[in-house]
Amino acid sequence: MELRELMEVLRHLARYPNVNRMALAEIRINEYLRSQPPQQTALERLRDAIRVEPKERALQSEFWRLVEEYISTL
């Protein structure tokens, strides 16, 4: 999976909240990281991409904050 594809999925989850969105985000993030050697570089690229996402709406902002928290545990 490419970073571009992952970000498209995460943007969709941010815009259309549902009960399972964090679980789905975690699954997709883990898939991305497994497919990208070395993992640390992929993690840094992902962190950078998430930081520049617009966080205009409260629900989207909350989602991106939770995604950043999850990534910080990896």
Which phi and psi (to 5°) does residue 20 adopt? -95, 10
pTM of the model as a whole: 0.88
> 48-61: per-residue pLDDT in tens?
999 888 777 777 88
CB 29 within 8 Å of CB 11: no
> 13-26: per-residue pLDDT in tens?
999 888 899 999 99
* Token pair listed for 69: 């928290």
Domain extents for the chain? 3-72
CB 33 within 8 Å of CB 42: yes
Q: What is the pLDDT of residue 34?
A: 93
